[in-house]
Amino acid sequence: MKTPDGRECKFFYGDYYRGRNFEECRALINPQDKKDWTSAACKNCPVPGILQNNGCQNMALTTYFQKTLFGKRIRAKAWCSRSHGIVRNPNLGCSLCHLPEET
């Protein structure tokens, strides 16, 4: 579904049927983060970009709010179930899943 700022994100949900105005981010796991979330947080969220750049099936994203000087921002951490390790750059993926194939 498209976020309010126009990017595609599989974790954003909006229900506008018959006058409803319900929006939520299903990537946030912490209940306190879900309460603090507003659709304005989608503007600087890294998750839609990560999903567009890297469609690896073995990568799991964990999202959370981080306090910064300018307020709260959504941050994402990635973990690979194949290499059993943290993915340093989620836009590129881990070194095990995305090695060039040998011919």
- What's the pLDDT tens digit per position in 75-103? 999 999 998 999 999 998 888 877 655 44
* Tens of pLDDT, residues 20-72: 889 999 999 889 988 989 988 999 999 999 999 988 899 999 999 998 888 88
- Residue 5 is assigned to a structural domain of this protein: no
Look at residue 26 and tell me if it is in a domain: yes
Q: Is the torsion defined by CA of 12, 73, 59, 29 positive or negative?
A: negative
Residue 101 inside a domain? The answer is no
Question: Which three-class secondary structure state does DSSP give residue 18?
Answer: helix
pTM above 0.85, yes or no: no
The reported pLDDT for the residue numbered 63 is 93
Per the domain annotation, does 47 fall within a domain? Answer: yes
Q: How far apart are CA 37 and CA 53, in angstroms?
A: 24
Kindly state whether residue 33 falls inside one of the protein's structural domains. yes
Q: Which domain holds residue 30?
A: 12-87
How many domains, the chain? 1
- The reported pLDDT for the residue numbered 18 is 86
Q: What is the pLDDT of residue 103?
A: 47
For residue 100, the model assigns a pLDDT of: 57
Whether 93 is in a domain gets the answer no
pLDDT at site 13 = 93
Neighbour-count burial for 3-42, b at 16+ CB within 10 Å, e otherwise: beeebebebbeeeeeeeeeebebebbeeeebeeebeeebb
| Structural domain contains residue 52 | yes
Q: Is 56 a domain residue?
A: yes
